[in-house]
Amino acid sequence: MTTIVDEVSAEHVRGRGGGGPAPTRVVVAYGFWIFLLSDFVMFSGLFATYAVLSGQTAGGPTGHELFNLHSVFIETACLLFSSYTCGLGALSAERGQQGRFYLFSLFTFVLGAAFLFIEISEFVGMIDKGAGPSRSAFLSSFFTLVGMHGAHVTTGLLWLVYMVAQAAAKGLRPHVLRRLLCFSLFWHALDIIWVGVLTLVYLIGVE
Amino acid sequence: MDGDERSIDDRTPGVEERESGAGYLSYTAGLVLALLLTIASFVVSQTNLLWPPGIAVGLVVLAFAQIGVHLVFFLHMGSGPDNTNNILALAFGLFIVFLVITGSCWIIANLNANMMPSMPH
């Protein structure tokens, strides 16, 4: 009888602060989730800027002339698959499968680096054509928005290397797993922002 | 004891329930759905499958669908009571994002429409 009563009261208080403080893991992930949402809010400012300025080409090249959808599709696929391997890596780490974690992290890193390589070569190609960030308001906002996403991906790659080093040096201990959880949240969030960039900047811009 | 503790845990974003196989399945389902939606976005933008003036709206709808897929299958945002805090924070974040983006577009479009025609020099 007591267990049933306990379960009912546990059910009743769940999510309402009952049952004492939440475990560290829940607190850490929730805090990091709030940070990611604030990152989305920051990106929303850049998206709004781009949406307002995308028509202001000052007689310079438009998105239709500059964007190459083939490389954008490859970029998108790289980031999506890296999000997938990152999720599988986090899952392997949770289950204590260190070898699989290294393997999936390697895939994540290679795919993320491929994304970044394509993006940087796209930027270099545009600047060579005289379509740098100083050419028009459209290009300023384009480089700010896409470049900010690229900067996040760069940070994510450095963080991934750091996490693999931690897993190798300290093993998959609870605090390492918590940091890894934050990293995988960050990496999935970057993919969500990329969906917005892809749609607003590339697909609607070229159409 | 461990079971009791887990029963009152809140869910963290990004963590699937600990059922064997469920995690891999969830990520794979998310990958397949996201790939399909991405390909659909590219097809819609490059063909006249949709009525041309409606293409932008169609792309935005597809983007929202894909963001939903990412949230559910990769970040494991569910509708259960143990996820309430995460969903509420997300709802507030999306509210601010919506205000910033639509508010900016609305105000600037209005200012643009009310600009005085530029004088010839």
With respect to residue A23, please indicate whether it lies within any of the assigned structural domains: no
CATH of the domain at A153: 1.20.120.80
| pLDDT, mean over chain B | 83
Q: Is A22 domain-assigned?
A: no
pLDDT at residue number A32: 95
Chain B contact for A42, CB < 8 A? no
Q: Do A206 and B42 touch (CB under 8 A)?
A: no
Would you state the torsion angle of the CA atoms of residues B19, B21, B25, B28, taken in this order, to the nearest 10 degrees?
Answer: 120
- Asked if residue B121 has pLDDT above 70, the reply is no
> Would A193 be classed as within a structural domain?
yes
How large is the ipTM? 0.85
pLDDT of residue A1: 43
Give the best-scoring range by mean pLDDT among A15-19, A151-155, B14-18, B69-73: A151-155
In-domain check, residue A4: no
Cα–Cα distance, B120 to A19 (Å, whole number): 73
CB pairs A-B closer than 8 Å = 155
A173 belongs to a structural domain: yes
- What is the number of structural domains in chain A? 1
Q: What global pTM score does this model have? A: 0.86
Q: Averaged over B35-48, what is the pLDDT?
A: 93
Residue A108: inside a domain, yes or no?
yes
What's the confidence (pLDDT) of residue B8?
44
Chain A: give the shortest CA distance to residue B42, in Å.
Answer: 7
Q: Ramachandran region of residue A173, left (φ > 0), alpha (ψ -120 to 50) or beta?
A: beta
Find the domain containing A159 and state its range: 32-55+64-206
What are the boundaries of each domain within chain B? 17-75
Q: Which of A137, A100, A11 is nearest to B4 (CA)?
A: A11
pLDDT for position A175: 92
Please state which of the ranges A9-13, A23-27, B1-5, B32-36 shows the lowest mean pLDDT: B1-5
> Is residue A48 domain-resident?
yes
Residue A89 lies in a domain: yes
Residue B14: how many CB atoms within 10 A of its CB? 26
| C-alpha span between B77 and B70 (Å, rounded) | 9
Tell me the average pLDDT across A42-59: 93
CA A207 to chain centre: 26
